Structure 1
């Protein structure tokens, strides 16, 4: 089997993947975070990736021909985008490509998320079609206008949070409620026990918005003695209200086009249910993974771009 290999070493997960043009496989392992902490420093994440990469890579068990090796080398395509944790996967990828005598392909973490989401939603054609894409995670909450760019995609930020990210809001809510980090899965499950429909709707400035007010309201609700399930549901419904209203405004401005959700927060069941008509990655490919980069790497060597 001829395939592309790829690495992604984000601030949350060590990932390796293989893609052969039709099927793909991702192996990933969360970085360990001590209870009560909200993530790792970059130096800690980088060290953890170096330690975890050999074991994660061995889980792929790829024995066929390698066409090329790819890696996420930075969070976004912009020149000023940089995060040291991506050095682990990028350096491993470059060394492996040199050893095998095959091309090395560099992409952004954001491009990888979009490719993985398009593939796992069954809509690979989105990579060759302009569309809107929500990137919602611990470090990013952005609405992108995505256009084809050779074998990859170009992403222009057209809307975003101006302060707290959706993932930070979820994790900080989880910390209040004594949940583990990252808190997405536990908060999702807890919210299903709530019968409240309360939420807070932040004001929009065009396609931009602030989530710090939601965080403040969540703290007030928690301190008032509200049930944990109601606090969890309040935070998530408030996020849904933002995504729905901003998406509607974007459609009015840019026209009716497909909407794709990616990023760890996009695996939340309430968001998936509320955003009817949107396309979502399978939950395992909503969270950080290397499969999207493997897809883009395969496309780069087979499409010549």
Structure 2
């Protein structure tokens, strides 16, 4: 249980997120966000995906101005800070090292506690940022969906989480982006497919649902089936993609949502937990949000994060850090970034 004395005090936590290609810094006053600054990296668009070396270089250029801007927007002097939280992993090693090194240096210079944060736990805990909304009660299930992860997590406490289903190969975000690349769409393709899907017929084309065991996911076979389908159709009609783009996107998105929710429904039935939250960059998808909201008719209690907390951001790192701060769960300066780390 959190230390009641700690909980009654005001804390100012500066948090840093640098797991992939967004450099972000936030300042939280307890569980309220005072600032949440994000610097993106457009350099990766021309390559159709994130280039790790370019990402780490951009983080080095962005981190100082992002931190200064976050403090200025929060109207907080660094001497008022109570602790520094940072993403330890999972993520790209070079990117993580930039954020973790800066966080450790700042913690040492200010002589305040350092808090390591698990990136995927933070996506889930974004629901606990205080914006006047109802927060999930324990236990609940979380569907974490992003470019690198697809997981069903049983959450019993702010930092007690069990992965009960995960992808066996590719993540759902990668399925969106790779499909977009096949269709000639810009990177990242997920939001573009979502937009085009709203205008198309989701039943125009049929794609198979992968047969992954238990509560696990698989998207590699789905991507291959889409590739073969497109190759076959284009061979017969060179203008097939152009003439059917909206219907293709709608059908692809419909199938991906089916894949996600067949396993999520199975998890609800297996655990008996009908309180369900989503998190991660792909949780911004309108079709996924609509499908989850429709589950209210089945008695589910659903939680959808605000758009600004779906993609990678430091506010979610800060709220995770806040609950660790209450438990005095601090890291030593010997802590190192970890590209892969279990929940």
Superposition TM-score, scaled by structure 1 size: 0.89
Name the CA distance, whole Å, in 2 between partners of 1:37 and 1:290: 26
In the alignment, is residue 51 of structure 1 matched against residue 61 of structure 2? Answer: yes
Q: Distance in 2 between matches of 1:288 and 1:82?
A: 13
Q: Is the aligned partner of 1:100 residue 2:110?
A: yes
Question: Residue 303 of structure 1: CA displacement?
Answer: 4.6
Which residue in the other structure is 1:71 paired with?
A: 86
2:314 corresponds to 1:290: yes
What is the aligned partner in structure 2 of residue 41 from structure 1?
51
The reply to whether residue 231 of structure 1 matches residue 252 of structure 2 is no
Give the number of equivalent residue pairs: 295
Corresponding position of 1:177: 183
1:195-234 CA-to-partner distances (Å, cap 9, x unmatched) read: 2324432224111132122212322343312511122122
Matching of residue 168 in structure 1 with residue 174 in structure 2: yes
Partner in structure 2 of residue 142 of structure 1: 151
Report 1:234-245 matches (<5 A).
Answer: 234-245=251-262
In the TM superposition, residue 36 of structure 1 has moved relative to its aligned partner by 4.4
CA contact (8 A) 1:33 1:181 kept: no
Give the CA deviation at 1:123. 4.1
Equivalent residue, structure 2, for 1:78: none
Distance in 1 separating the partners of 2:44 and 2:52: 15
Superposed displacement of residue 11, structure 1: 1.4
Question: How far off its partner does 1:125 sit?
Answer: 4.9
Structure 1 residues 284 and 236, CA gap change in structure 2 (3 angstroms): same
Matching residue of 1:90: 100
Three-state SS of the structure 1 residue aligned to 2:42 is: coil
Q: Please say which structure displays the higher CA radius of gyration.
A: 2
**Within 2, Cα distance between the matches of 1:63 and 1:293?**
20
Closer, same or farther: CA 156–137 of 1 in aligned 2, 3 Å? same
Distance 1:103 1:138 in 2: 31
Q: Equivalent of 2:20, from 5, 11, 19?
A: 11
Q: Report the equivalent of 1:300.
A: 324
Distance 2:317 2:202 in 1: 40
SS of residue in 2 equivalent to 1:275 = helix
* Structure 1 residues 196 and 41: CA distance shift in structure 2, 3 A: closer
Select the structure that is richer in helix: 2
State how far apart, in whole Å, the 2-side matches of 1:17 and 1:261 are.
22
Relative distance call for 1:138 and 1:153 in structure 2 (3 A) is same
Matches within 5 A, 1:93-132: 93-119=103-129, 122-126=133-137, 129-132=138-141
Tell me the equivalent position of 1:251: 268
Return the offset for 1:159. 1.0
CA shift digits 1:135-161 (9 cap, x unpaired): 11111111112221xxx4133221122
Identify the residue that residue 333 of structure 2 maps to in structure 1: none
Please report the TM-score for the alignment, with normalisation by the length of structure 2. Answer: 0.79
Indicate the larger mover: 282-291 or 24-33: 24-33
In structure 2, what is the equivalent of residue 158 of structure 1?
164
How far did residue 300 of structure 1 move?
2.8
Could you say if the C-alpha distance between residues 196 and 132 of structure 1 is closer, same or farther in structure 2, counting changes exceeding 3 Å?
closer
Matched, 1:222 2:230: yes
Quick one: structure 1 residues 39 and 136, their matched pair in 2 at CA, closer, same or farther if it must change by over 3 Å?
A: same
Query: What stretches of structure 2 of length at least 5 have no aligned partner?
Result: 1-9, 234-239, 297-301, 330-343
1:4: how far off?
0.6
- Give the Cα separation in 1 of the matches to 2:174 and 2:130: 25
Instruction: Provide the C-alpha distance between the structure 2 equivalents of 1:21 and 1:93, rounded to a whole number of angstroms.
Output: 19
Cα distance in structure 1, aligned partners of 2:92 and 2:42: 22
